[in-house]
Amino acid sequence: MLQKLAAQLTRSLSPGGLSTCRHLSGGVGLPKSGGGDGVGVDDGGISKEFGKNDHPVIKEGNGGRSNGKLGTFSGLTPDFPCIVGNPSSGPEPTYASVPKNSYRLFEYPDTFCLELNSGRLPGFKLAYETWGSLNPDASNSILLCTGLSASSHARSHPLNPAKGWWESFIGPGCALDTDKFFIICANLLGSCFGSSGPSSVNPETGDPYATTFPVVSVTDLVRSQFLLLDQLGIQRLHAAVGSSLGGMLSLASAVEFPDRVNRLISISSASYSHPTSIAMRYLQRKAIMTDPHWRSGRYYGSDYPKTGMKLAREIATLTYRSGPEWETRFGRRRLNPAAPQAVSLCPTFVIEQYLDYQGEASSVRLDPNSLLYLSKAMDLFDAEDQLDRVICPAMILGVQSDILFPVEQQRQLAQRLRDIGRCRRVTYFELTSLYGHDTFLLDVHNVGTAVKGFLETEHA
């Protein structure tokens, strides 16, 4: 019996026996001749091209040959173009190239004390842009509060014709109607698009602040913007409007300055950060801070921490959209459906390539240190015990598919404001969009209609 088994094993290990692994559908063994698409034979054995050029070549390793004879092992050659093709630093970040003549600059000359760690800044700058015209009594102004990664460029204008991040929501007849309102959008303190932040030069040292920049809170961000409003001669806002981190800012505006905000709109946001959101942002910060090029935040003028920033933005992309949308857009579609058995450790599925693309594209659009500081501000935000200070009409808008700010948080916020009873009116909208957290950027009809209606309705 043993001799018979040995003979069968010998036959299975012969070149003819290994030509097809019959227990696998379609077979992935050594072809006897050149095969179909992407498959060929060279002097080293088998070479299977997997998909496009950014995928590795699968070859029989040296372990598959012994003294020129076919052995029992056939594995991957450890070549990974999906890693090698992504440089660990560079190119030059695009956030540093925003034209300075495309925004206005507010400069606060005095010492600015921050909420945490007894932090102080020797003054600061805020980049801001405006649309529409301020009426004689300055009562038609709307403060548009940005998300974590946005600049002040919410809509195109003659000084900067590039489309803004809320382009379709601002303009004549739009949700923020420039025929009726004066719109102000400021880049956040701690950001990198003209406002003071880690990448700015500390006037006392002549070097970039880097991670010596003090930790900022949502309250600090709001206070700095209201100093800008003072400079513009605006004592009372028609509304504070914001989404995501911007929604925290609009809520905090009504908490910190209840007598200066006529109404607030908070979209896909909350009165505190959910533990899942904190965990997701922690992973983004860790990805950046463990990149060797981060150098404790002192990478300015040196190698940019590209690998960590790219991974952080890929993680962020997961939180911005929804599972149902991924299923609809990508499902389990493969990059190389013609060769389902040609698998490497690099991306196999279209969704993986999409994340890689998004991470690559956005990795140089925001200063990594700014992401660290502003994401931390989001995690620390908790206005639950201060909601009794909100007295203006409020509109809270949630999205059922949002995983970054679960819709239950918007329901709770609206109900808390109603239960406290100090708001003159609380309006709640809930959307069923597939787009998850990014609905506030994409759903012009539903989000825009709700915003426009609330802004233009008289509230008793």
Q: Which residues are catalytic?
A: 244, 402, 437
Helix (H) or strand (E) holding 113: strand 112-113
The span from the CA of 184 to the CA of 394, in Å, is 19
97 CA to centre of own chain: 20
Tokens standing for residue 436: 């998850």
Query: 288-297: long-range contacts at Cβ-Cβ below 8 A with a sequence spacing of 24 or more?
Result: 288/312, 288/368, 288/371, 288/372, 289/372, 291/88, 292/88, 293/88, 293/89, 294/368, 296/210, 296/211, 297/198, 297/210, 297/211, 297/369, 297/372
In the chain, what's the furthest Cα-to-Cα distance?
Answer: 103
Tokens standing for residue 92: 């030059």
Residue 316 identity: A
C-alpha distances in Å from residue 344, one per residue of 39, 77, 306, 348, 373: 14, 10, 24, 7, 37
Residues 6+ apart with CB under 8 A from 357: none
Tokens standing for residue 39: 């498959």
DSSP annotation string for 327-362: HHHTTT-BS-TT-TT---SS--BHHHHHHHHHHHHH
The span from the CA of 39 to the CA of 58, in Å, is 10
DSSP 33: S
Please choose, from the candidates 124, 125, 126, 129, the residue with its C-alpha nearest in 3D space to the C-alpha of residue 102: 129
The span from the CA of 287 to the CA of 290, in Å, is 6
By CB neighbour count within 10 A (0-12 exposed, 13-18 middle, 19+ buried), where does 266 fall?
Answer: buried
Please choose, from the candidates 392, 389, 387, the residue with its C-alpha nearest in 3D space to the C-alpha of residue 425: 392
**Spatial contact of 30 and 48, defined as CB atoms under 8 Å apart:** no
C-alpha distances in Å from residue 272, one per residue of 71, 239, 250, 252, 275: 61, 21, 13, 11, 9
Backbone φ and ψ of 54, nearest 5°? -90, 15
Three-state secondary structure call for residue 366 = coil
